[in-house]
Each structure stands twice: as C-alpha cells, then as structure tokens.
Structure 1
C-alpha cells in the first residue's frame, strides 16, 4: 500500500489568511512517485514539480526544484520575490544539467507550476503541463497554459480540441526545467480577492478530472478534505500517473474595530 504524502499549513499576513493543504500519491500504475510539492505560506510560495517520466531520475530533478524554490526569501516588494524565484529556478536548471552530465544520466527534467504571493499580489509561474486553476466567485479558470505539443497544435488550429484526449502524442511536453540550457518560464500576475482558491496539480489529476469536476470538489470542502477527495477521485478512475494537488484558500482578514 502506498502511503500518500501530505502537508497542511495555515498562515496570516497583514491582509488576510491562507489555508492550504498539499498531498501527493504514487497512483496505481507507476512504481515510483516522481512528483514533489512545496507549501510555504509564511513565505508565500507554493509549487508542484512533476519529474519527467521515461527520462532519468525525474524524481531527483523535481526534488532539486523544490529545494531551490524553498530558498526564496521574504520580500516586501512582489517583483523582488518573482525575480528571486526566477534566479533560483535558473540556477537549479543548470544544477540539474550539471548533475546529469557528471553522472552520465542522460536527460533529467521536471515540470513546475508555482504560486507566489506578496501582500495582495500574486504571480503564477510555470514550465510544462503541471497546472494552476483559480476559482474566483464560483468561476473556475485555468491560469497556466500547457506547454505541450497538443496545446500548440490546438493554438495553431491544426488539431480539434475535441480530439486532444485521443491524440497519440498528447503527453509530449515542450518545456521543462533541466532539459535546455536556459529554462522557459511563463508568468501571469494579478491581485488577490477575498475567497480566491488556487489549485496547483500535476497532470496525474487532470488526466482523470475536468476543471468543472475539480471545482465541484473544492467548492464544498476545506483544503485538506478537498485534496483527499481529488486524489481519491483520480485513483478511482485508474490513477494512471503520480498525482499531486495543492489547494490554497485566501480569506481577507476582518477589519479591526479598535476593541481589545
């Protein structure tokens, strides 16, 4: 029996509360869990990394990314935090490549998706097909955009989205950390709103659950219960890959009325 990995954390900043939970499971098919996660609400950093299956030591690459992101420090200015994160990811990209070369390991790599928060500002950074969804006002939006061959073909108009699920090369990713000399990172930023819920996940979840199914679960449950429900739903539908989920709820702190 595989024992899932969990992490539950709560934190409060000057503006509001974060309640987050993370969980990872090997799934029902893969012998090794190559997914990793980071949950550091006090630093305003959450991340999912999915080591590249079929390549050498994807779990090692994912672990190195988590360790690097965990070194992102506290910053009063959000742009400084984003830059710090980028610097650490560019550094670990080279570290992964050096390790692979020194030990003759071939290609090592991992996707990543990260949520960075400072005050009322948030940024989503990603490379590969791990995703981040934002549920705001009962509207579910996929913030990240898959760096995959199938998504590129959909964008180019050469593949019907309805045919994507059965496309033979649907698992081919175009970007990942450690694969090229310089990593490709996309960035999207915004302002937090009361009630925002962020869902970071590896493709082991989205292979089995649609965005609306994910939304139905996170709307009715707290982060810990939601993570368990999402993981269990993926397992019940086959658990064909490692599956990792991080759920982050944000609530505005109530105004202080001056009373003790």
Structure 2
C-alpha cells in the first residue's frame, strides 16, 4: 500500500483473473482499524474485489473460514509483529489454510511481517530488539529480511544471523522493492524507488555473510499496469 500505487498495481497485475478477489489479513497489527481503512481506501477503486479477514474479532466458523480464504485470488498480509502473527494463525488454523490456498494457485503477498511469514525464518523486531526468528510457514525456502536499508542495525544484524547459521541464507529487501517467487524460484524483481535493490545474503564460511545485489526494474505507471497469469506464486513485498 504505497502512496503512488505502483507496487499495488504490480501485485494486481499478477493475479490469475482480470478482477481478482483480494483479501487483506491484518493479524500482525492486531487488526488495527486504521490499517483496515488504509487497505480499503487503497484498493476499493482498483480492479479487484477487496475484503478483510479479522481474527481478533473472528466471525466465521472453521468451514466458512476455509471457504472464504480458498475463494481468494490474492491474499495480502499486512505488517506488524511476525511472531504474534504466526501464533494467532496457528491458533485459528490459518497457517494450514494458507498452505492450501498456495497449493491451489492463490497469490500470497505481504509487507514487512507479511513478507516474513512465508519463509522458513526471518529477521524481526517482534521481541523488541532486532533478532532472528527461525520460524515461518516455510512456503519460501530460506529467510527474509525487510527494511534492509531503512532501519538502523538491520543490515548488520541480519548478516550476523545468516553468517552464524542462526538463519538460513535468504533475501533482504530494501524499502520499495517487490520480489516475485514462482514455485520457490525468484522470477521478477521490481522497485518503486530508484537505486533500491533486493539482496541475496549467504554465509561466507567464516561466521560472516556476503551479499549480492539483484537488479530491479523501476516501476512506472505504464509498467505497473500490466497483467500476467501465473501459477503457484508466492510474493514478498517490502514497504
């Protein structure tokens, strides 16, 4: 949910249908009302059918929850606390439903904690200070680190976690970058911010890490409006 809508349009451009059903899952923020309003404001005027799945005031029983989630073309997970998100999802069985939706071809995406959750592990401030979280849904192998360029200590802390083996090798996203993974493989990288990059971070064998920048296509209004059909896609977006 960026101010210029470029990444939003890029996400919609990868849906499997022209007017996708798109569900926002704001669990990581505790279903913050302002966050729900921001999502609806961003997507109500776009070519999609937006909806919200609250879990802190859950209204759907198990059968209805499964039907609802599996009917979505896009699931968009908001930012917040990654550890809390995973715990709440597991309590409600949403972790299993996300995997089922993924296997059925739903586009899974998110921002910050909503990007962390899909991997095997992530770099997070869920517990206060920046640290590693060797936990996630594991739909994307390896680890994820959002806000790689914008939060003090992110870069060095994530590299230390990967270098020592506390986290597996993974992907670090600078703000404004979107990365598309198809069947677990990186297939596209874009950015709404000139000079921003995605990085592959791997251990160097001496308890340190090395990073490799991946070039990103700069989104413009015309580029972000394309539409591509994809199968079994997981997407991470850092914002």
The TM-score with structure 2 as length reference comes to: 0.33
The TM-score with structure 1 as length reference comes to: 0.31
If asked which structure has higher relative contact order (CA below 8 Å, sep 6+), I would say 1
Larger-gyration structure (1/2): 1
